[in-house]
Amino acid sequence: MNTFSRTVPPVAADRLPDLLRAMPKAELHMHIEGSLEPELIFALARRNGVAIPYANVEELRRAYAFTNLQSFLDIYYAGASVLQKEQDFYDMAWAYLERAAADNVVRAEMFFDPQTHTERGVSMQTVVDGLHRACVDAKSKLGVDAELIMCFLRHLSEEDAFATLEQALPLRDRFIGVGLDSSELGHPPEKFARVFARCRELGLHLVAHAGEEGPPAYVWSALDVLKVERIDHGVQSTRDPALMKRLAQDRIPLTVCPLSNLKLCVFPDLGRHNLRELLDGGLVATVNSDDPAYFGGYMNRNFTETFAATGLGAQHAWQLAANSFEGSFTDAATKRGYVDRLGAVFDRFA
């Protein structure tokens, strides 16, 4: 039998949220800079003597009313400007990892955006040292396996991406892969074909944001030109039946972020999200939080709100958690161990 498949009995609607919260899960799409809560932004601003153009936490939170991806990115990059010292990066990552552990996330593959920091004069070493130290502590103190994936900002040039890779190479053993994020429209994956080819030679895992706002053609080129192993978001793929077939056949995981899609107006409401369609199409879809401090929820909230709005049930819950382990970049034995733990939780709810 396939490690990841299991037929599970239905769970009563009033117990489903508890099951969703209790089940072990992997988070595969989370930008660590997007976990910076307004309270921590203000605390770090004070600690580092950085001025921010908001009077208080409430005023900053009120600014989180987005109309599309770019309207979010503008405020997200501004928020990251309070991060200056190694300890700041540690504190940010540690705060996320504690929340992840509370949500029964047992593995977290966290994105970071070094160019947001290096262009302000913060060194690659400062960024990676702080994040990596939090990952090491997460394993021993929280029981969370945490790894880093370095993202290139796609609105910047290929040359900038190569320079970033060069700066990161001395720290090669501290991140497991590379990704591609930031403004999608007008910046197709193929802009970074050569950088990704180089990262592939280096043995790094490859992922890319595609089909969040961009067309199915961007998902095709992420697969065929960049040769990524996972697609981040990918929700526009349902517009292309041939693409859906390809993603299902090759078991390419899609790291879907429902509350992000809602806040960035990719779907008009959560009840109209296409997660069910992706699962019904046989895709390895997963649920993730993207930028939890900005989009109104960490992992468990993404699960409980999406299930409440779309009517998904226990079988979908199993599939999504199992998919998160299948799609993670850990070894087969560790994946089997996670699925065993998932089975034990489902047995409790049977």
Written as one letter, the residue type at 250 is D
Q: Which of residues 217-276 bind ligand HPA (CB under 6 A)?
A: 260
By CB under 6 A, residue 290 contacts ligand HPA: yes
By CB under 6 A, residue 209 contacts ligand HPA: yes
Binding residues with ligand HPA: total (CB under 6 A):
11
CB count, 10 Å around CB of 179? Answer: 26
Residue 105, classed as helix, strand or coil, is strand
CA distances from 202 to 52, 130, 176, 205, 326 (A): 39, 24, 11, 9, 23
CB count, 10 Å around CB of 123? Answer: 13
Cα–Cα–Cα angle for 75, 233, 18, rounded to 5 degrees: 95
Q: In the set 8, 19, 24, 31, which binds ligand HPA (CB under 6 A)?
A: 31
Closest CA to 120 of 158, 77, 86: 77
By CB under 6 A, residue 187 contacts ligand HPA: no
By CB under 5 A, residue 290 contacts Zn ion: yes
By CB under 6 A, residue 69 contacts ligand HPA: yes
Q: What distance in Å separates the CA atoms of residue 314 and residue 310, rounded to the nearest whole number?
A: 13
Burial class of residue 269, CB neighbours in 10 A (0-12, 13-18, 19+) = exposed
Is residue 212 part of the annotated active site? The answer reads: yes
Catalytic residue (one of 109, 147, 212, 213): 212
Residue 182 binds what, of ligand HPA, Zn ion, none (CB under 5 to 8 Å, by partner type)?
ligand HPA
**Stretch of 128-136, 286-294, 317-325, 340-348 lying at the interface with Zn ion (CB under 5 A):** 286-294
Q: Are 210 and 184 in contact (CB under 8 A)?
A: yes
By CB under 6 A, residue 27 contacts ligand HPA: no
Nearer to ligand HPA, 104 or 182 (CB): 182
By CB under 6 A, residue 293 contacts ligand HPA: no
Closest CA to 26 of 248, 327, 232, 307: 327
Report in angstroms how near the CB of residue 185 gets to Zn ion at its nearest: 15
By CB under 6 A, residue 182 contacts ligand HPA: yes
Residue nearest to Zn ion (CB): 290
Provide the binding-site residues for Zn ion, judged by CB under 5 A.
Answer: 290
Positions annotated as catalytic residues are 212
Provide the binding-site residues for ligand HPA, judged by CB under 6 A.
Answer: 31, 34, 69, 76, 181-182, 209, 212, 260, 290-291
